[in-house]
Amino acid sequence: MPYTLQADSLNRLKEWKIKDFRAVFQQFGMSFRQGMAAIFANTGGRVNANKVIDGIVWEPLKPEYKAWKANIVPFGTLVFGGEMADSFRKKGAPGNIERIGDFEADYGSSHWLAHWHQEGTKKMPARPIIFDSSKRREVFMQIMQDYFNAKFEQLGIDVRVSLHAN
């Protein structure tokens, strides 16, 4: 999931002495991992703690596979051994992707099973782990807004930033 600023925006930020967004991207990463942990904790559904669907609701497991899996691993739809889940929710775990640059960042997983779950196979429907999320956008926008407000205050710029996702 990439986040990137365009060149004209970067030039204006440099004029304001904002040299990078590493601190913001580190907070994004923490928020992303928390969201991934919640997805795996609720057995891969897209229902949050308030019972609101955020994203794609997955097709249920086939009854025979669900029964077989329940006898082996009691972790639900997505989690089997936990390695793939860890690659999304634990920074530094095998397969975890967190690349942070000055003005762009990438988060995700390179675990060999992640692509199969994201895209599906001939025998398994797609059960996307990373998806467009209005809630994630709201959280990221709040992190960015807090950053700008604190930065402007630090620079002595009398302005409050309010960002809105479309």
Domain enclosing residue 52, as ranges: 3-155
Residue 50 falls inside a structural domain? yes
Residue 47 falls inside a structural domain? yes
| C-alpha pair distances (Å), 49 with each of 38, 90, 98 | 9, 21, 26
Q: What is the pLDDT of residues 82-129, one digit of tens each?
A: 899 899 999 999 999 999 998 889 999 999 989 998 898 998 888 888
Residue 78 falls inside a structural domain? yes
Q: Is the pLDDT of residue 152 over 80?
A: no
User: Which of these, 44, 164, 161, lies nearest to 113 by C-alpha position?
Assistant: 44
Residue 165 falls inside a structural domain? no
- Beta-carbon contacts of 125 under 8 Å, excluding residues fewer than 6 positions away, are 58, 59
Q: Is the pLDDT of residue 3 over 50?
A: no
Say how many domains are in the chain: 1
pLDDT of residue 2: 47
pLDDT of residue 147: 85
